Structure 1
Amino acid sequence: MEDNREMPDRIPRRGARAVALPRPWAYPIEWRLLDGRGWLSKSIAHEIDQRRLFPWIPVFFGVGIALFFQADGQPALWAPLGAALFCAAAAIALRRKPAAFCAVIAITALFAGFSAAAIRMRNVASPALARIVVTPVTGFIEAIEDRQEGKRLLLHVVEMRDVPDAERPERVRVSVRLGIELSPGQLITGTARLLPPPQPAWPGGYDFARDAYFKGIGAVGSMVGQVRSDAASPAPTWALRLAAYVDGARNALTERIATSIGGAAGGVSAALVTGKRGLIPEQTNEILRGAGIYHIVSISGLHMVLAAGTFFWLVRALLALAPSLALLLPVKKIAAVAAMIGATIYCVFSGSDVATERSLIMTLVMFGAVLADRPALSIRNLSISALVVLAREPEALLGPSFQMSFSAVAAMMALVPLMHLKESDGRGSGIVARVASWVSRPALGLATTTLVASIATAPFAAYHFQSLNPYGLVGNALALPLVSLVVMPSAVLGVLAYPFGLDRPIWQIMGFAVSQVLDVSAWVGSFSGSTVIVPALGSASLVLLTVGLIVMTVPASSLRWLAIVPAGVGLAFAATPHRYDLFIDRDGAGAAIRGRNGRLTLVGRPSDFVAEQWLRADGDARSADDASLRQDARCDKAGCVVAADSGRWIAFVQEVSAFEEDCRRAAVVVSQLQAPPGCKARFVWDGRALKESGATTIRFTPDAIEVRSVRTGTQIRSWSNKAHPLEPSPAREGLRRAQPIPEQDLPEEDVSSGEPD
């Protein structure tokens, strides 16, 4: 039968836009289809039609990586690799059954992620020091980072006296305060005080040892005494020469920019171009964080777009000047190749951080689509980028750089259709209305994307840094226009003029704009509550919020509304943080005890870094030198006692002579010394336990003790008897209120801050 319905001559504008969009944000929920299979089938069909199944491959790949890092010990490689190959073969056999094929592909991606992590773990395996040593060290300088207090070197070790070859680290990171002029690639010799890479200050805290392992760093410390160059140096490998050459070029440009501008603006400007952040004063870092714009010093999307776009525009414009070339050659594709090469060089030059690699891969995919005359779908582009980054560095999944960068970009991509739906062509409007639309549209876009990115990255900021910046929207709205219109274009022009020696005026213009950005940041950061310290987010809450974010951004259908469930449960968990009653340092040098007032009290000699990690994990905004941190502890030279929030007295023993009384009178005894076998305290955590467990947190309940350690995980122990509050004995009534004790000599530790663009 002939169909008499006539097709419309023209698709309405609203319908055309909805068809053109990769996915409409407001895909409606049809409640009448919520009979289970009908709604689900319709949603899945829409996902397939919009080609939204591929983005789930990197999701399951990441799940496999996460499972690897939860495994005990070092899992075998043959098991996940064999399972991945078997599942891949099964997928080929089931390719004509869509549901089974998709399920097997997901399992294949999971095992592939597990295998990638296992392979990476084996490829980077190298010895690490197990004890503190002071020994002569000879090594090549791979990289130098200039800092305000000196230099920090990454040494490729050639010889380390007093350390057997089987235990000798491949690389060490040392600081140098005074010494000869140093340059990358140079072979130096000197005496170094080296320590094992420090483990987290508390279970769930920043794990420097893990990051150092994947970078091949087996020890950290400082050079003591004179550092001299070894004239009779063996020839370095080509890889070392290349790394040294790139780092030397980065240092030279960093120094050129910093000296041309000067001050804090010079350090920030240099970081914007070369990725070297060592010259930024810590106070300036705090100002940028307080304003919520610290992400500008992380070389990522904005930097890569300007760099690649400049190459693309210049090459295309130059070729277009010759009509014969423009007519005979594919000018656009040649310019795309030039942009791809230039962007890759810029990524290598700027240090190849995770956010930079993400931006580079997305840029290469975009220009690759130009070469193939195909559109570059944004979510597919991001998925390819995630796969490449995770396959190359699976450990990046656990770091803030990967999590915050990809979450921000994915959330903004989910918002793009909504932003387009709000646009207006402006036809029929007056000049005033057109100007207002031209001004308001980018302002609205900036405010909206900033808000979405801030919400998307908030869970990861709370988990890794225990801080939120509520005024980030204001800071970005005021600073980013200046960064986009003046700072970054000046950076591109300065790099192009640098080989000709004509770059100094450009750097000075850039420095003036950066100074204005810092002034705006200082003003925003001065607002009350610009930085909010929150208790550390639990792992369960982070996982649920991450699942919610993925479900919200990946699907194209109304399946995205399912994100409400995990996100809601995750927020509920976040609203009831899991606080600990006792933090114990990894070597027992100090502890933090929750007193009767509900706040932490410091005892012993923990370093400022460790103490601040404990405070931030508890959502406490006090600094490590705050006098109130020690006023509730009663101490003498033998140790301290604190009345805990649970009503029990907790003793921190520093001398053997205190064990006799504290074991008899206190409910809990903590010490880096070994407690005597007859200690009658209800709970004892001494040097023997710390050696096995590392940094430890303890939570007291009426019936049990929850012990969580870096090395041994979580244990639940019951009280042997019902503990009761005890007052200090008369012999200890004369204990003085604790005074701050000089911090112990620990290696410098810093937390990498990956920021989204």
Structure 2
Amino acid sequence: MERIGAGRTGGSLVLAAASRPLRFAAPALRDWCGACLVREAAQRRLFPWLAVAYGVGILTFFALTDGAPALWAPLVAATLCLGPLPWLGGRPVASALLLALATAWLGFATAAWRVSQVEAPILTRITVATLAGLIESIEEREEGARLVVLVGHFGTLPPERMPRRVRVSYRKAPPLRPGDWIEATARLLPPPEAARPGGYDFARDAWFRGIGAVGSLAGRIAVKPPAEAPHPLTRIAAEVDAARNTLTRRIAEATGGQAGAVAAALVTGKRGLIAPMTNDTLRAAGIYHVVSISGLHMVLAAGVVFWLVRAALALVPHLALFWPIKKIAAGAAMAGVTAYCIFSGWDVAAQRSLVMTLIMLGAIIVDRPALSMRNLALATFAALAREPEALLGPSFQMSFGAVAGLIACARFLGGDLFRREGAGRFGQILAAALATVVGTLGTTLVAQIATAPFATYHFQTLQPFGIVGNALTLPLVSLVVMPSAVAGILAYPFALDMPVWWLMGQAVRGMLAISAWIEGFGGATVVVPAFAPAALPCLAAALLLATLPISGLRWLSLAPALAGLALAATPERPDIYVDRQGSGAALRGADGRLFALGKPSGFVMEQWLKADGDGRKPQEAAGGSVCDPVGCVGRLADGRAVAFIRDRRAFAEDCARAAVVVSGLTAPMHCNALVIDRAYLARYGATALRATPQGFVASHVRRTDRPEPRGSDGSTDRRATVTDPPSTVRPSDPQDEPAADDPGDDAPQ
């Protein structure tokens, strides 16, 4: 791709090739597009689009495939696309398109290979039995802890049906350490699926992490010798996790309170000690990203090591004059940031940030620009090749979107605007201060704009004062918190770290005080309706077109941006949400707001309200229905009745009078209503219905064959037009038992 348009005649070839598809367009437009493409090729800005093509191939696999395709098929397709390239030297546009198509097929193959590698059994129903296994990691909390256990055996399940690992919690138990082999009675259930179509699917993420069940431990927990020696890598990972827990407790005790909990999370990535109220405060200020070990931590950690090593080497004149101290510092920073990533838990977001940071530092060693779209594209390839499913999550989308925006706007965020030739000492200080303030505000604004589509889509919240929160707290993080973290880790082996953690804790207290002040503003957190899935691809395309090109082709981003904003501004709000367990539903009443029917869990009701753009608490949505011991009845805005049934005796009456019947029981075959019962939910998962004059349009969490609810005679009820939205691969079996709702800290923040 780099050679496209290079050389003495490359520009004219690109211009001629680019002009052919546009021969019927206006001459001015044709010439403008051709000139833009020549400039893109000359600046080698076509290579980043290969990373986009790779991502398109991954998305195609997750969105459109049904079943497990043969791995050889996309590889053969990629080879066929690459075959004609040697004979297309005079057709650079055709060569570029074929290369992009081949890259997309490679992305498709990567996703298919990943799915085949992580496939593992999933528990299909609630099971209480004896669990024995090795503790891989422990997340300590104010009360109890949460464990990830590598399963040795669970009850009488045969190996082919036994989950590879499970996540369990306990409240009181003897001191446990990662690496311990435990036996205890466990109540396990399938990982919870999304609470609504298009919502966060913990079951999908758990499947890719090898977690086949979640639950809790009860009774006595016995620590015993393992049946066989664990794998060396498993043992090393357990020892690292134990060291993280020890340091987490030490940092938390040095500062105390929530400042200590946040300070510990900033260093070790363990967030279990942070109270929910503190999390809400940080989110309201728009700085929760500081707590999650990701790009900011990797860059600051690498920057501190780079600066310290380079400054120390510069103190020795001989080294400063004759040694490549900048490259040595970059190498030391690479080693330091890798060690920090491993120690901080090797989280998915941290891994992607590490890859990007290593590529940037490696560019310094080979005398290339450290911050460039080419390096970002290489980081994208490396991250998606390892975990292609990350493309579906907010962490990848937001981190890479923010970096792309910052690289594209880097020339506008520098301090050259304030520098003046011949300025005195005071003028230089003033210029540096202005450049710092404008750079911080500009960087925060660009990052917020670039990440806003993904944050809004996944979390349905906006923080209008996030630019204020970041501008006030990031100097503390950059100048005090992260340097203290590096110094504290270096002093920790010598037991000289307690004063450093205390200093770091004071800076964190200031950060929390600023966050609490911003939280007090009216409208610090704005809940917005979940927009249509089609809006996100439009907005993502607009971001790519605005950041990757260097020519006037950036103006093309206006079309998908306007289309995405139009789709986001006109969301289709469902009129009925049905819980996947059949324990309750939510209806849209005459006032246009949702109210609870039955008893859906607080977590599920909160997800429904947020998706509707409603900032109320779950308990505030109670009422609006009439209940008796056997069930409840509520009415939609158009007067149609929706019945929730707890007792089989209610089916006869409610099937005759209600338009929709919801129940966690199995409905009788003869029911004149649209039936969403136990069997229906076991097959399709959580369901959303949109009322129309002709019936209801349904969407489901699980992508499967089009379901058609039964009519009174057991035939299909044609009043319901049912559609399935695109979703990811559904590896788990249909579950016919209730599942836990709240995925806890594993939900994206």
TM-score when normalising by structure 2: 0.90
Q: For structure 1, which segment, 694-703 or 661-670, has the greater mean C-alpha deviation from structure 2 after superposition?
A: 661-670
The match for 1:89 is 83
1:452 deviates by 1.5
Higher alpha-carbon deviation: 159-168 or 321-330: 321-330
Number of the residue aligned with 1:399: 393
Instruction: Give the aligned partner of residue 271 of structure 2.
Output: 277
Aligned-pair CA distance for 1:95: 4.8
Q: 8 Å contact 2:581–2:739 — kept in the other structure?
A: no
Please say if 1:368 is aligned against 2:362: yes
Match of 1:685 in 2: 676
Mapped contact 2:190–2:739 kept (Cα < 8 A): no
Residue 381 of structure 1: how far off its partner (Å):
1.3
Shift of 1:437: 2.4
Which amino acid counterpart does residue 394 of structure 1 have in structure 2? P
- 1:702 and 2:696 are equivalent in the alignment: no
| Distance in structure 2 (CA, Å) of the matches to 1:665 and 1:75 | 46
Residue 662 (structure 2) aligned to one of 663, 670, 673: 670
Cross-structure match for 1:11: none
The equivalent of 1:59 in structure 2 is 52
Q: Which whole-Å CA distance do the structure 2 matches of 1:327 and 1:152 have between them?
A: 53
Counterpart residue identity of residue 623, structure 2: Q
**Are 1:208 and 2:199 matched, yes or no?**
no
Contact 1:33 1:39 (8 Å CA) reproduced: no
TM-superposition CA deviations, 1:235-289 (whole Å, max 9, x none): 1101211211221121111111111111100111011111111111110000000
Q: 1:354 & 1:557 partners in 2: Cα distance?
A: 34
One-letter amino acid matched to 2:671:
C
Of 652, 655, 665, the match for 1:660: 652
1:192-246 deviation line (CA, Å, top 9, x unaligned): 0000111111111110010000000000000011111013542110121121122
Q: 2:233 is matched with which residue? A: 239
State the one-letter code of the partner of 2:48: P
Q: Which moved more, 1:303-312 or 1:467-476?
A: 303-312
Instruction: Measure how far apart 1:350 and its partner are.
Output: 1.4
Counterpart secondary structure, 2:84: helix
Paired residues of 1:185 and 1:245 also in contact (CA < 8 A): yes
Letter in 1 for 2:71: L
Q: 1:23-172 residue pairs with structure 2 within 5 A?
A: 35-70=28-63, 71-95=65-89, 97-172=91-166
Q: Do the aligned residues in 2 keep the contact of 1:705 with 1:716 (CA within 8 Å)? A: no
- Partner Cα separation in structure 1 for residue 72 and residue 555 of structure 2: 39
Does structure 2 retain, via aligned residues, the 8 Å contact 1:64–1:114? yes
- Give distance in 2, aligned partners of 1:642 and 1:154: 42
Unaligned runs of 5+ in 1: 1-31, 724-743
- Report the residue type matching 1:656 in the other structure: R
Contact 1:538 1:577 in 2 (8 A): yes
- The counterpart of 1:259, out of the listed 253, 257, 276, is 253
Answering whether residue 484 of structure 2 is matched by residue 490 of structure 1, we say yes
1:716 Cα offset (Å): 9.3
Which amino acid is 1:357 matched to?
Q
Determine if contact 1:298/1:754 at 8 Å carries over to the other structure: no
Residue 647 of structure 1 deviates from its aligned partner by: 2.1
- Counterpart contact for 1:285–1:294, Cα < 8 Å: yes
Whole-angstrom distance in 2 between the partners of 1:79 and 1:317: 54
User: Helix, strand or coil: the match of 2:564?
Assistant: helix
Q: Contact 1:203/1:695 (CA < 8 Å) preserved in 2?
A: yes
Structure 1 SS opposite 2:512: helix
8 Å Cα contact 1:706-1:715 kept in structure 2: no
Give the aligned partner of residue 574 of structure 1.
Answer: 568
Q: For 1:41-87, what per-residue CA distance to the aligned partner results, in whole angstroms no more than 9, with x for missing partners?
A: 10000101111001001111111111111122222222112212322
Compared CA separation, residues 253 and 160, structure 1 to 2 (3 A): same
Kindly state the Cα deviation for residue 310 of structure 1 after the two structures are TM-superposed. 3.2
Counterpart CA distance in 2 for 1:209 and 1:674 is 24
For the Cα contact (< 8 Å) 1:354–1:389, is it kept in 2?
A: no
- One-letter amino acid of the structure 2 residue matched with residue 98 of structure 1: P
1:333 aligns with 2:324: no
Between the aligned partners of 1:139 and 1:625, the Cα distance in structure 2 is: 39
- Compared CA separation, residues 33 and 372, structure 1 to 2 (3 A): farther
Residue equivalent to 2:529: 535
d(CA) in 2 for partners of 1:714, 1:619: 30
Query: For 2:619, what is the secondary structure of its paired residue?
Result: coil
Task: Give me the whole-angstrom Cα distance separating, in 2, the residues matched to 1:208 and 1:56.
Answer: 31
SS in structure 2 opposite 1:35? helix
Shift of 1:443: 0.8
Q: Which amino acid aligns with 1:647?
A: G
Q: Does 1:602 align with 2:593?
A: no
After superposition, what is the alpha-carbon deviation per residue over 1:354-377, rounded to whole angstroms, capped at 9, x for unaligned? 442333223222332232233335
Shift of 1:498: 0.8
Q: Please give the alpha-carbon distance, in whole angstroms, between the structure 1 residues aligned to 2:322 and 2:590.
A: 82
Give the SS at the match of 2:530.
coil
| 8 A Cα contact 1:400 1:753, kept in partner | no
Aligned counterparts of 1:165 and 1:135: Cα–Cα separation in 2 = 15
CA contact 1:592–1:602 (8 Å) conserved in 2? yes
- Greater CA drift, 344-353 or 559-568: 344-353
Q: Could you list the per-position Cα deviations for residues 378-435 of structure 1 after superposition, in whole angstroms to 9, with x for gaps in the alignment?
A: 2111111111101100010011100111111111111112234861322344665444
Cα distance 1:631–1:382, how it changes in 2: closer, same or farther (>3 A)? same
* Counterparts of residues 307-346 of structure 1 (less than 5 Å): 307-320=301-314, 329-346=323-340
Q: 5+ unaligned residues in a row in structure 2: which ranges? A: 1-24, 712-716, 721-737
Correspondence for 1:380: 374
328 and 428 in structure 1: CA distance in 2 versus 1, 3 angstrom threshold: closer
Label 1:527 to 1:320 Cα distance change in 2 as closer, same or farther (>3 A): closer
Q: CA deviation at 1:745?
A: 8.0
Say which SS state the counterpart of residue 141 (structure 1) adopts. Answer: strand
Q: Matched residue pairs, number?
A: 701
For the residue of structure 1 that corresponds to 2:83, the secondary structure is: helix
Residues 1:549 and 2:543 are matched in the alignment: yes
Q: Distance in 2 between matches of 1:652 and 1:339?
A: 60
Residue identity matched to 1:469: Q
Residue 441 (structure 1) shift: 1.4
2:244 is equivalent to residue 250 of structure 1: yes
Residues 355, 754 of structure 1: 8 Å contact kept: no
In the alignment, the residues of structure 2 paired with residue 128 and residue 117 of structure 1 have an alpha-carbon distance, to the nearest angstrom, of: 20
Q: Distance in 1 between matches of 2:739 and 2:113?
A: 36
Q: Tell me how far apart the structure 2 counterparts of residues 753 and 477 of structure 1 sit (CA, whole Å).
A: 27
Q: Deviations over 1:456-494 (max 9, x none)?
A: 111111111111101101111111112211111111111
Deviates more, 1:649-658 or 1:331-340: 331-340
* Residue in structure 2 matching 1:225, options 204, 208, 219: 219
Provide the rounded CA distance (Å) in 2 between the counterparts of 1:696 and 1:286.
29
| Local SS of the residue matching 2:113 | helix
Preserved contact between residue 415 and residue 435 of structure 2 (Cα < 8 Å): no
Cα shift readout 1:324-348 (whole Å, capped 9, x = no counterpart): 5556644433332222111111111
- Trace 1:492-507 onto structure 2 (pairs within 5 A): 492-507=486-501
SS of the aligned residue for 2:561 comes to helix
1:443 alignment partner in structure 2: 437
Describe the superposition over 1:675-704 as per-residue Cα deviations: whole angstroms up to 9, x where unpaired: 2222223x2222222221111000011124
Change (3 A) 1:328 1:451: closer
